[in-house]
A and B are shown apart, each in its own frame.
Chain A
Amino acid sequence: DIQMTQSPSSLSASVGDRVTITCRASQTISGSVSTYLNWYQQKPGKAPKLLIYDVSTLQSGVPSRFSGSGSGTDFTLTISSLQPEDFATYYCQQSRSTPYTFGQGTRLEIK
């Protein structure tokens, strides 16, 4: 299985801050046509919501303050200017091969 490791596990920040979450895969998740790294946002009591796929492609309807980058095994999710609705838990996930695997999550809290 491909292991996904996120850091930090939790993060305190203020509205307007720029924050970065990192995700590392235990092996490459690049394929012939894409790199299969996705980011999800989850709020308490809700299902995960797809934010970004293929490392950096924003899902329809996701605000442009979210961005993703990286290659090979190291990836980042950046929120350029935190809004109140962004306080949630974020997960990276690889869909390069089954079993799909998720990072352990990064809980983003209000400072």
Chain B
Amino acid sequence: QVQLQESGPGLVKPSETLSLTCTVSGGSVSGYYWSWIRQSPGKGLEWIGYIYYSGSTSYNPSLKSRVIMSVDTSNNQFSLKLRSVTAADTAVYYCARDHSGSYPMDVWGQGTTVTVSS
């Protein structure tokens, strides 16, 4: 079955860019939407945005100015970049398979903890 695995630095300095990749195994990125969600003690679960395999995106307005998502169909991966991070961006970041409303986020990665600190 489809499995997702997040990867990237666990520690990012304030004002720098957080970069994460989600690798899809047991299936293809093609044909699906792919979401990023984060979870921090202060804000609960927050949807960051999604990217369609074709490259079209939808971002949460609260983060839109700082977020870029991309997809690499040849490597079956998709990525998140969040620039100008602060301590408020410290969270567990999850990637998930999405269906843009027709069906919910049904497959999730295990999550990766990112701490923003100097």
Contact = CB atoms under 8 A, between A and B. Distances in A.
Bin the interface of chain A by size: 20 to 34
B106 A99 contact: no
A38 B62 contact: no
Contacts, number: 54
A50 B104 contact: yes
Contacts of B105: 50, 95, 100
B62 A99 contact: yes
B47 A100 contact: yes
Contacts of A36: 101, 104
A93 B101 CA distance: 11
A59 B108 CA distance: 14
B101 to A, nearest CB: 5
Given A53-B103, A95-B101, A101 B47 contact: yes
B111 A47 contact: yes
- Please classify the interface of chain A as helix (H, G, I), strand (E, B), loop, or mixed, using the class held by over half of its residues: loop
Contact of A38 (B60, B94, B104): B104
A102 B45 contact: yes
B109 interface: yes
A50 B58 CA distance: 22
A68 to B, nearest CB: 12
A99 B103 CA distance: 15
B104 to A, nearest CB: 4
Contact of A48 (B46, B49, B108): B108
Interface in B43-65: 44-47, 49-50, 58, 60-62
Given A98-B58, A105-B44, A46 B110 contact: yes
Interface of B: 35, 44-47, 49-50, 58, 60-62, 94, 96, 101, 103-106, 108-111
Given A31-B101, A50-B104, A59-B106, 12 more contacts: A47-B108, A48-B45, A50-B106, A53-B103, A93-B45, A93-B104, A95-B101, A95-B105, A96-B101, A98-B58, A99-B60, A105-B44
